[in-house]
């Protein structure tokens, strides 16, 4: 994991949201240079790569930020993950709309529907998995830490559950795309992150068929 120390900072600005009126002043005035910050610790993890699937099989748009490499597709099948370079951290976002563009998107844990769902993981390790002394996979997730997850109508009261989140997208149809996100967790921690650059197109494929 590429962890750095950072003293969190906030600069004051003013902006409005397109999916919720008010309450968004100052929220997105930061830049973590393709990384995310955990407010309680001051730690930052860098996520230099961004991939987007605009026709994801389970939702319309899926974004994967990570510190590995995917290529033109990412397949997970029967416990195997087919990354080009395994990541140690990921931010996965699933949007519910048919498409996305410039604007502000919202998540509320108590809402019946949301603009997106999100999950952040770090300390990912990959390798072969064994059962009864026999190797069953070549590249499975052996360990991971869930930093945050926000799913509509799913709550177990865990401290890393997202209670509210906002995402702002700017310049979506240009090479210099900007994505910023702010997550508030049940344990009162806050995560902020940003990506600026070009999201690479990829196809996310999940297969859970006959794995015998």
Q: Where are the domains of the chain?
A: 66-206
- pLDDT tens-place string over residues 25-53: 589 999 999 999 999 999 899 999 999 99
Inter-residue contact 143 to 123 (CB < 8 Å): yes
Flag whether pLDDT at 89 surpasses 70: yes
- Which among 63, 152, 59 is positioned nearest to 108, based on CA atoms? 152
Percent of the chain with pLDDT over 70: 87
CA 154 distance to own-chain centroid:
17
Whole-structure pTM value: 0.86
pLDDT level of residue 138 (50, 70, 90 thresholds) = very high
Which phi and psi angles does 148 have, rounded to 5°? -160, 145
Q: Mean pLDDT over residues 154-177, rounded?
A: 93
* pLDDT over 60 at 108, yes or no: yes
HSE value, Cβ hemisphere, 13 Å, CA-based, for 103: 13
Rounded to the nearest 10 degrees, how much is the dihedral formed by the CA atoms of 178, 187, 5, 84? -60
The tally of CA atoms less than 13 A away on the side-chain side of residue 54 is 8
| Residues sharing a CB contact under 8 Å with residue 93, sequence separation 6 or more, in sequence order | 62, 63, 64, 65, 116, 117, 118, 167, 181
More confident residue, 63 or 11: 63
- What number is the average pLDDT over the span 98-123? 96
Share of the chain above pLDDT 90, in %: 75
């Amino acid at each position: 994991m590429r962890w750095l120390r950072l003293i969190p900072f906030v600069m004051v600005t003013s902006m409005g949201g397109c999916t919720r009126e008010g309450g968004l002043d100052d929220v997105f005035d930061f830049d973590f240079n393709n990384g995310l910050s955990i407010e309680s610790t001051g730690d930052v993890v860098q996520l230099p790569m961004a991939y987007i699937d605009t026709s994801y099989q389970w939702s319309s748009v899926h974004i994967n930020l990570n510190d590995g490499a995917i290529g033109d597709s990412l397949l997970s099948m029967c416990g195997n993950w087919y990354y080009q370079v395994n990541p140690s951290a990921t931010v996965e976002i699933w949007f519910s709309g048919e498409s996305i563009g410039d604007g502000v998107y919202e998540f509320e844990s108590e809402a019946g529907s949301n603009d997106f769902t999100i999950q952040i993981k770090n300390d990912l390790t990959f390798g072969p998995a064994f059962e009864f002394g026999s190797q069953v996979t070549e590249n499975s997730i052996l360990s991971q830490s869930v930093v945050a997850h926000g799913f509509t109508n799913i709550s177990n009261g865990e401290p890393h559950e997202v209670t509210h989140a906002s995402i702002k997208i700017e310049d979506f149809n240009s090479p210099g795309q900007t994505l910023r996100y702010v997550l508030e967790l049940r344990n009162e921690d806050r995560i902020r992150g940003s990506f600026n650059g070009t999201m690479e197109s990829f196809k996310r494929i999940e297969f859970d068929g006959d794995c015998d």
